[in-house]
Amino acid sequence: MTEDEKLLRLFQARDERALKAAEQQYGKLCRTMAYRILGDRQDAEECVDDVLMKLWDTIPPAAPRSLTAYISGITRNHALNVLRAKNKAKRGGKQYDAALDELSPYLKSDEDMEDRLGTIALQDAINRFLEMLPEETSMIFLARYYSMQPIKEIAAKHSSTVGRVQMILKRTKEKLRAFLKEEGLL
Amino acid sequence: MKPQDFMEALGGVSQEKLDALAKWQEAGTPITGKAPAQEKRIMQTAAEPVPTQRRRETMKQKVKTKASAAQFLPWKFGIGAAVATCAAIAVSIGAGIISMDKQQQMQVGMSGETSVAEQISKQETNAEKTNHEPVPLIDNLCAFSGTDEIAPAISDNGLVEVWRSMNDAAEFIEYDQIGKLTNCSDYFTDALFAKYDVLYAAHPLKKYLPENTLRFQLSGGEFDADGKLHMTIGALALDELPNSWASDAQRLNSVNHYWFYTVPKNSLPEITAWEFEVDEYHVGELDETAKDAAAGDDAIYQFIKTTDAYQKWDAAVNRQLYITWGKSKPVLPEGCEEVQSADAAHEPVEIIEKLISSGGNDSTMMKLPPEGAVQVLRSVEDAEACCRYSSENVAGQPFDFRNKLTEDLFAEYDVLYFAFKDEQKPQYCYSVDLAGGSIAADGSILKLDFHALMFDPAHLPSDWCSVTEPDWNTYYFYTVPKNILPDLNAIELSFEEYPLGEIPDEILAHANDLVDIEDNGYITKHTKLQEYLETTQEYLDWVMSMPKPKYISWEDNTQLP
């Protein structure tokens, strides 16, 4: 049985040791991701606690295939909610700000995206766009803008160079802009 | 839309993608940077090199030398610490310990109780495949020498195993942890085995190495048709060891050497039969200066480094190492999937050395057609016929590359010549360098991959001319192994772009001002721009992106010459 399977079993059995085990196994991942978005260690720490409670609340019935993906998703969304609630949307974590700055030249438009329907359409378009990309490119794009991993870290972890990752991201953002224009979302 | 909207919407990315992302991140899958159409070629050449420089650095960081440096003479110059470790041991092998036939491919040992032929016959279809991708020895995790007290005992014929999990490494770890003799066990973790298998090879030194060995290094291995793995060791030897070095010889009587290399997961079968072979490289006699004990070890090392034997040995061992397959490929164990393309046609050809790269134009040097030129030069006559001035004064005269394209050179190598017009390079390109190439299926088209260092168009030097001269060309000559490449008649170029960052205005304004740079005691002139760029991370990334060594691979079903 893998560590993830053991952890899931603890959650399913409503065994409180699950929280400690999850903190040990995924605390660092959560903390790093939350800090990238929030840019504040105290906030990030609180976010980790909240994520652990969300795990407790959602598993079961949820039985995620990949705990890493599941916990990343919860952390990211929760950190963004915290950021919004604290009205820090313009100045968040360093990597979040950097990601916004990088995307800005490609995504600026005069139209606001306030309504829920617009967000759903955008989510749908993003998923279709990612499907169109070569697998590796979509992974690099998500590592940078979903996980908010610094470019240097992506390059180092995947035996590549900063220049190469930058170039792949640059081309992907150009494609994204063209795609969103075609979709009438830009 | 604001970027914040996009970031928020990205939170709704599909679960499948997130699962894939988690796996990709956990696995640390190397980025190829190629579009899918090209990925196939990359996979075929999965054996494509890990840059030598990086490998050396890794070795330097990781190798443990417990058994050697303290006891034996340290080897001070050149290559990585792993080799240094070996050399430190090897240098002490004394005269008379072993006496061996001085043939290049010397068979020195044999082991393995059972053959895998039986396994092969079970899967005849697999066995009939005759071309398989070589398996790269990715990283030298550690290497050390020591007696049977330092690691589990090995037989007189050595031992070669593939370790696939911590269980396989358990005996060694248990041994190692009694007194922490090598620290090698630190490298064996579940995380390591999640990504790689480990090829473990160990052999007695005295039995296998020739007399007066100075340095030795594993140089690869090959499975023969019966499934036996032949491991090769490159050994650099002197006619006679200096007296000051010979005194430790006796200590090696019971010393073994142990190697640990990571290999791609599930790429090797269980190894049931093996053999160690030695390629000998003889330095010969030391010159008088080196013989003079007072001159010290450095003088000896300096002399050795200049010898032909050393150069050949260095080229043989300090490259990406592979396990290759002979006529048949043994069956992989149950549950193992072949991770590399099984239908790759041929092994990649190493581009050995850049002899010449020169700029020039149609009117003063060799005139080029718009599509460029390529030729495999196999003799001085080929070179003279190819390299002829086009200027009016000396039209038709051989171009003066003859001091480099000599008969001696062609006795050993062929020369790959190609040239192209500058207008084929990307616009705003500061510099290009060759990363490798491939030969298209009909065997006549050479596809060349360059890495181009690119200016940001918004930050160009003040005197930058973005319009290239239509008749300006660049000519390249590289040595390649003899009689491997087919005759080629066309080139196709591709440029992978590496962007430079913002360059300060004061540098751009004086980009071409010359400054003195000290390089190894020599003063050379660089432009201010060049001096600045060489300090940037982008420049370094570009330099480090170049594979070392470089290879020309073969596309599917390429016909050999």
DSSP for B490-539? EEEEEEEEEE-----HHHHHTTT-EEEEEETTEEEEEEHHHHHHTTSHHH
Q: Verify whether the Cβ–Cβ distance A145 to B7 is below 8 Å.
A: yes
Contact B538, B498 (CB under 8 A): yes
Report yes or no: B414 and B451 within 8 Å, Cβ to Cβ: no
CB within 8 Å: A155 and B33: no
Pair of tokens at residue A83:
């950021």
CB contact under 8 A, B1 and A166: no
Which parts of chain A register pLDDT below 50? 88-89
Which pLDDT belongs to residue B446? 92
Interface probe for A, chosen from B21, B29, B195, B429 (most Cβ of A below 10 Å), is B21
Q: Cα(A51)–Cα(A31) distance, rounded to whole angstroms?
A: 10
The CB density around residue A147, as the number of other CB atoms within 10 Å, is 21
> For A106, which residue in chain B has the nearest alpha carbon?
B3
- Chain A residues with CB under 8 Å of B193 CB are none
Q: ipTM for the complex?
A: 0.74
Please tell me the predicted confidence (pLDDT) of residue A142.
Answer: 93
Quick check: A165 and B31 CB within 8 A?
yes
Is residue B214 within 8 Å of residue B87, measured between CB atoms? Answer: yes
Q: Which two tokens stand for residue A42?
A: 């105290």
**Three-state SS across B213-227?**
EEEEEEEEEEECCCC
Which element (helix H / strand E) includes B260? strand B256-264
User: Which residues pair with residue B472 across a beta bridge?
Assistant: B361
Please give the residue of chain A at the shortest CA–CA distance from B51. Answer: A159
Test mutation, A90, A147, A161, chain B, max B CBs within 10 A: A161
Distance CA B534, CA B139 (A): 28
| Chain B partners within 8 Å of A162 (Cβ) | 537-538, 541
The 10 Å Cβ neighbour count of residue B172 is: 22
Residue A185, min C-alpha distance to chain B (Å): 8
Residues 6 or more apart in contact with residue B59 via CB below 8 angstroms: B80, B81, B82, B83, B139, B140
Q: Considering only CB atoms, which chain A residues are within 8 Å of B498?
A: 161, 163-164, 167
Q: With beta carbons under 8 A apart, name residues in chain A contacting B25.
A: 68, 139, 143, 147, 149, 157
Per-residue confidence (pLDDT) for residue B305, from 0 to 100: 80
Inter-chain touch A130–B17, beta carbons under 8 Å? yes
- Per the CB < 8 A criterion, the answer to whether B13 and A61 are in contact is no
Contact flag B30-A130 (C-beta cutoff 8 Å) = no
pLDDT of res. B231: 94
- Contact yes or no for A126 and B542 at CB 8 A: no
Written as six digits, the tokens of B215 are 């340095």
Q: Which residues of A touch B23 (CB under 8 A)?
A: 66
User: Number of Cβ pairs closer than 8 Å across A and B?
Assistant: 159
Q: What is the pLDDT of residue A140?
A: 93
For residue A100, list chain B residues with Cβ-Cβ distance below 8 A.
Answer: 3-4, 7
Count how many Cα atoms sit within 13 Å of the Cα of residue B309 in the half-sphere of its side chain. 21
Q: Rounded to two decimals, what is the model's pTM?
A: 0.36
**Who among B14, B21, B545 is closest to A164 (CB)?**
B545
Distance CA(B546)–CA(B449), nearest Å, equals: 10
CB contact under 8 A, A159 and B542: no
Question: What value does the CA radius of gyration of chain B take, rounded to a whole number of Å?
Answer: 26
Residue A67: name the closest of A43, A44, A83, A51 by CA: A51
DSSP bridge partners of B551? B350
Q: Report CB contact under 8 Å: B33, A164.
A: yes
Q: Do B22 and A180 touch (CB under 8 A)?
A: no
Angle at B424 between CA B423 and CA B427, to 5 degrees: 65
User: Do you know the residue count of chain A?
Assistant: 186
Of the partner residues A65, A120, A158, the one whose CB lies closest to the CB of residue B29:
A158
CA atoms of B188 and B198, how far apart (whole Å):
9
| The pLDDT value given to residue B495 | 92
Smallest CA–CA separation between A47 and chain B, in Å? Answer: 16
- Residues in chain B whose Cβ is within 8 Å of chain A: 1-15, 17-26, 28-33, 35-36, 39, 496-499, 537-538, 541-542, 544-545
Could you tell me the sign of the dihedral formed by the alpha carbons of A153, A159, A163, A164, in that order?
negative
Task: Tell me which chain A residues have a C-beta less than 8 angstroms from the C-beta of B5.
Answer: 107, 113, 118-119, 122
3-state secondary structure of A128: helix
- Between CA A104 and CA B378 the distance in angstroms is 55
Which pLDDT value is given to residue B261?
A: 93
Residues of A in contact with B28 (CB under 8 A): 157-159
- Alpha-carbon gap, residue A84 to A45, rounded angstroms: 17
* pLDDT one digit per residue (tens) for chain B, 561 residues: 777 788 888 888 888 888 889 888 888 888 765 443 322 222 222 222 222 222 222 222 222 222 222 222 222 222 222 332 333 333 322 222 222 222 222 222 222 322 223 332 323 323 333 346 788 888 888 887 777 667 777 888 899 999 998 888 888 887 766 555 566 777 888 888 888 899 999 998 888 888 778 788 898 998 887 788 999 999 888 887 766 555 444 445 558 888 999 998 888 888 888 999 998 888 887 777 766 655 566 677 777 888 888 888 888 887 778 898 875 555 555 545 444 433 334 678 888 888 888 888 887 778 888 899 999 999 888 888 887 776 666 666 666 676 788 888 888 889 999 999 988 888 888 889 999 998 886 778 899 999 999 888 887 877 676 666 677 889 899 999 888 888 888 999 999 888 888 888 888 888 878 777 665 556 667 788 888 888 888 887 888 788 777 888 887 655 544
> Does B15 sit within 8 Å of A69, measured CB to CB?
yes
Rounded Cα distance, B395 and B374, in Å: 20
Contact A139 B32 (CB under 8 A): no
Give the pLDDT score at B478: 94
**Pick from B7, B39, B541: which is nearest to A162 by CB?**
B541
Cα distances (angstroms) measured from residue B36 to each of A58, B43, B430, B495: 38, 10, 28, 17
Q: What was the pLDDT predicted at B391?
A: 65
Interface mutation vs chain A, best among B16, B19, B24, B540, most A CBs within 10 Å: B24
Chain B partners of A86 at a C-beta cutoff of 8 Å?
none
Comparing CB atoms, the residue among A76, A112, A120 nearest residue B11 is: A76
CB contact under 8 A, B21 and A157: no
In chain A, the DSSP E strands lie at: none
Question: Which residue intervals of B11-140 are DSSP H helices?
Answer: 15-27, 36-44, 52-62, 81-90, 117-122, 124-128
pLDDT confidence of residue B271:
87
Give the pairing type, strands B522-527 and B373-377. unpaired
Q: How far is B426 from chain A (nearest CA, A)?
A: 14
CB nearest A103 (choices: B6, B12, B20): B6
Across the interface, of A80, A140, A164, the residue whose CB is closest to B11 is A80
**Cβ pair A164:B498 closer than 8 A:** yes
Asked if B8 and A80 come within 8 Å (Cβ–Cβ), the reply is yes
Structure tokens at B267: 């790429």
Helix/strand/coil for A81: helix
Residues of A in contact with B2 (CB under 8 A): 107-108, 112-113
The DSSP symbol for B416 reads: E
Which residues in chain B have Cβ-Cβ distances shorter than 8 Å to A157?
25, 28
Q: DSSP H helical segments within A39-115, as ranges?
A: 41-58, 67-85, 94-107
Nearest to A142 among B3, B13, B538 (CB): B13
Provide the shortest C-alpha distance from residue B350 to chain A (in Å). 22
CA B500 from chain centre, in angstroms, equals 27
Q: What was the pLDDT predicted at B198? A: 93
Please tell me which of the candidates B14, B35, B545 has its beta carbon nearest to residue A161. Answer: B545
